[in-house]
Amino acid sequence: MDHRPPSIKVDKPWGRFEQYTHNLTCTVKIITVAPGGKLSSQYHHHRDELWVVLDEGARVQLGEDVLEPDVGEKVFIPRGTVHRLSTSDEREVRILEISFGEFDEEDIVRLDDVYGRVAQ
């Protein structure tokens, strides 16, 4: 079952907008990964995430796949899916993250972490 939130594009005389959520409980963040940095290999029990790539050089582990999405590309991460964001080179990378469901920073199950934050 696909729980991907619908996004809609609306053309206007001045251009267009893309709406990622409408009246849903969500949390929105911009995540910045320092050059050469990477997030934990992780998953969540209580939330899905939609990532929108803002800068070139993003590398996304999604399950067994490794993606290098283009700027503006969207990556949907269903709850329970192992994922990780890193940089593909020595540039800072930002993504817009929209989390759907119950958001809690404690809802991070880390499988691998270069910063030593994996629970034993």
Domain holding 38: CATH number?
Answer: 2.60.120.10
Q: Check the CA dihedral 105-71-80-28 and report its sign.
A: positive
Q: What is the tally of structural domains in the chain?
A: 1
- pTM listed for this prediction: 0.82
* Domain housing 51: 26-112
HEC string for 12-34: ECCEEEEECCCCCCEEEEEEEEC
Kindly state whether residue 72 falls inside one of the protein's structural domains: yes
Kindly state whether residue 60 falls inside one of the protein's structural domains: yes
Per-residue pLDDT tens over the stretch 50-103: 999 999 999 999 999 999 999 999 999 999 999 999 998 889 999 999 999 888
